[in-house]
Amino acid sequence: MRQYGQAPVLSEDEGTGVPALVFRAGPLLCALRLDEVIETMRPLETRPLAGTPAFVRGISVLRGVPTPVIDVSRLLGGGSAEPERYIAVSTDRGAVAFGTGPVLGVRNVEAVPSGGHPALLGGGNSRLVAGVGTLGTEPLLLLQSMRAVPDDVWEAAAAAGVAT
């Protein structure tokens, strides 16, 4: 039985946790559920988008669709870093591209729900982190993509997409 604050351990074993795509975002180790991930790709040409928060890198065209690009590292407060991969994630309002560090691969991640620790999951971005676990000796943040993009961003993206 796990105690409070004891992070669940990511495991390669089948049947434990949820399959998730593990990647780095700056100094942090993050994961996304596979069912939220559409695909991974190299960073595409991204145009800055005015009137958007700082963690929004801009807008890029993925498979013909204007898609907002979010800098995960900046979103999580780890500072800005040049993305190595784009991860296309499906949300309720369409696909969103996450600019991340190197993609480590698919793992079964067992994470505590984000409401378990207010120090980790509280604040303005608490809606992005679905849970917290570990991968080896490093902490792993399990993200939930549908809450990542504010509405005004979508609106701006939609405006940009109409404009394009």
Partner 1 sequence: MMAGRTFGTKLAAGFGLTLLLTLLMTVTSLAGLRYVLHTKDAVIDSARVNLVGAEALSALMESRIADYRGYMLAGTDEYLNATNTDRAKFLAQLDSLRGSIENANSKALLQKVADAEAVHAGLVSGLIAQRAKITILSSVAQFSGNEEVKAARVTVQKAIADLIAQVQTTVNAKSDDSSERAMWAMIFIIVIGVLLIGGAAGVAWKLSRDLKREVGAAVGHIQSSSAQLEAAAAQQAAGGRDQASAMSEITTTISELLITSRQIAESAQRVSKVAEETAEAARTGDATIDQTRASIAAIRTQVDQIVQHMLALGEKSQQIGGVVDLVSELAEQTNILAINATIEASGAGEWGRRFAVVAEEIRKLADRTAASAKEIRALIEDVRGAVNTTVMATEIGAKAVDSGSRQFDDATSSFRRIVGLVSTTSDATREIELSTKQQTTAVEQVNVAASDTARVTRETEASAVQTKQTAAHLSTLSGELLDLVGTGRH
Of 31 and 153, the one with the shorter C-beta distance to partner 1 is 31
Q: Count the residues of the shown chain that bind partner 1, applying the rule CB under 8 A.
A: 14
Which of residues 21, 56, 142, 153 is near partner 1 by CB under 8 A? 21
State the minimum distance, in angstroms, from the CB of residue 21 to partner 1: 7
Whole-angstrom Cα distance, residue 148 to residue 129? 9
Give least dist CB 155 to partner 1, A.
Answer: 29
| Long-range contacts (CB closer than 8 Å, 24 or more residues apart) made by 122-128 | 125/75, 125/76, 125/77, 128/75, 128/76
- Name which of 52 and 67 has its Cβ closer to partner 1: 67
Show the CA angle centred on residue 92, arms to residues 53 and 155, nearest 5°: 40
Q: Which stretch binds partner 1 (CB under 8 A): 3-11, 61-69, 70-78, 99-107?
A: 99-107
Q: In the chain, what is the straight-line distance between the N-terminal and C-terminal CA atoms, in Å?
A: 54
Encoded one letter per residue, x for contact with partner 1 by CB under 8 A and - for no contact, window 33-62 reads: -xx-xxxxxx--------------------
Among 15, 105, 124, 136, binds partner 1 (CB under 8 A): 105
Q: What's phi and psi for 77, nearest 5 deg?
A: 85, 10
Identify which range of 100-108, 112-120, 131-139, 146-154 contacts partner 1 by CB under 8 A: 100-108
